[in-house]
Amino acid sequence: MKWPKLRAIGPSLWGIGVFLLVLGGLAPWIPRFPLTILVNLLIFAALAYSLNFITGLTGYVNFGHVVFMAVGAYTLGYTVGTIRLHPLGGVALGGLMALVLALGLGAVTLRFRGVYFAIASLVTPLAGLNIVLVLPALGGGQGILLNIGFDPLSWFYTIWAIIATEVGLTYWITHGRLGYGIRAIKSDEDAAKSLGVNAPRLKLFLFALSGLFAGATGGVYAWTTSGVFPEAAFDLTFSLRMLAMIVIGGMGTLLGPLIGAIAVYLPSRFFLTIFIGTESIIIGLVVIVIALFVPGGIVGTLRKYVPELRRILE
């Protein structure tokens, strides 16, 4: 499959590309504190795009997506802390390890559908946490504490590159022959199979991609926090946030994960801290309301009610 020609690229991809280029150019001049906030926002966006590959495009709700993030974080923690690998290498290896795990898990769990897949996915981070707790090499219950310094500019460009790759792959997948098969699976998987779509292989491909980028993002997250700690690494709240971002922004869309990340992260960062312990409840209620009354999310709703935006937003 060929990449789309420049003339065929839609306004949404151009807009995201310009946005990322501007951020990339301005980053060296942004003060450290705002830059760290921006890095955290981009980490949220990268996680949202990673989940969008499987949940957004196929409708398979993965509540255990945080397990890939945790694998990436622990891979960076172990390789940087034990063999003194550069953090960039830890991020790359974290993505690779998460990809391998996704292939193994996907070969089993993707045989289920609907609520059965959701339940199966929910078990994986719980199992991962209990495995880590009994492995001394991974710090057991204490986790891994790193001493790798404070370097927000390196964090920024690493997560920037991850998001740019995710956006490009999302556009490539949804605007080619793969996109037809994916949309057929999401609408009616059995009918898609009868038409010759290799649903198991296509789902596993998307699941592996989602694991790859969640793992790489988890490595960046561990880099920014200078450590990996079991309860935080496998916290199911991360999965809830990822799901909230794509539901609010627009599942399966190109702009949705970015818009959803902004909509979830900024209130979480600046407002919900005054309601300690209720963030998950608030986010969950918002997701329920969005799913019931505006199932298309922000992007889908704008496309539906503002005809002029249908050719612009995707």
Indicate whether 206 pLDDT > 80. yes
In a domain, 208, yes or no: yes
CA-to-CA distance for 78 and 158, rounded, in angstroms?
19
Average pLDDT over residues 54-79: 93
pLDDT at 278: 63
Helix (H, G, I), strand (E, B), or coil: what is residue 145?
strand
Residue 244 lies in a domain: no
Of the ranges 72-81, 208-217, 280-289, which one carries the lowest mean pLDDT score? 280-289
The answer to the question of residue 102 being in a domain is: yes
Q: Taken in order 37, 258, 115, 206, is the CA torsion positive or negative?
A: negative
Of 271 and 29, which is predicted with more confidence? 29
65 touches 123 (CB < 8 A): no
- Report the chain's C-alpha Rg in angstroms: 19
Q: Please tell me the predicted confidence (pLDDT) of residue 29.
A: 94
How confident is the model over 249-265, as a mean pLDDT? 90
Length of the chain: 314
Domain assignment present for 115: yes
Q: Would you state the pLDDT for residue 152?
A: 92
Q: What pLDDT is attached to residue 46?
A: 96
Residue 82 lies in a domain: yes
- Confidence check: pLDDT of 310 > 80: no
Position 272 pLDDT exceeds 60: no
Residue 3 has pLDDT above 60, yes or no: no
Amino acid 301: pLDDT: 82
Q: How many domains does the chain have?
A: 1
Cβ-count burial of 28 within 10 angstroms (0-12 exposed, 13-18 middle, 19+ buried)?
exposed
Q: Please check whether residue 264 lies inside any domain of the structure.
A: no
The pLDDT assigned to 259 comes to: 92
pLDDT at 68: 96
The domain of 29 spans 6-235
Contacts of 163 (CB under 8 A, 6+ apart): 20, 42, 45, 46, 49
pLDDT of residue 313: 79
Residue 83 lies in a domain: yes
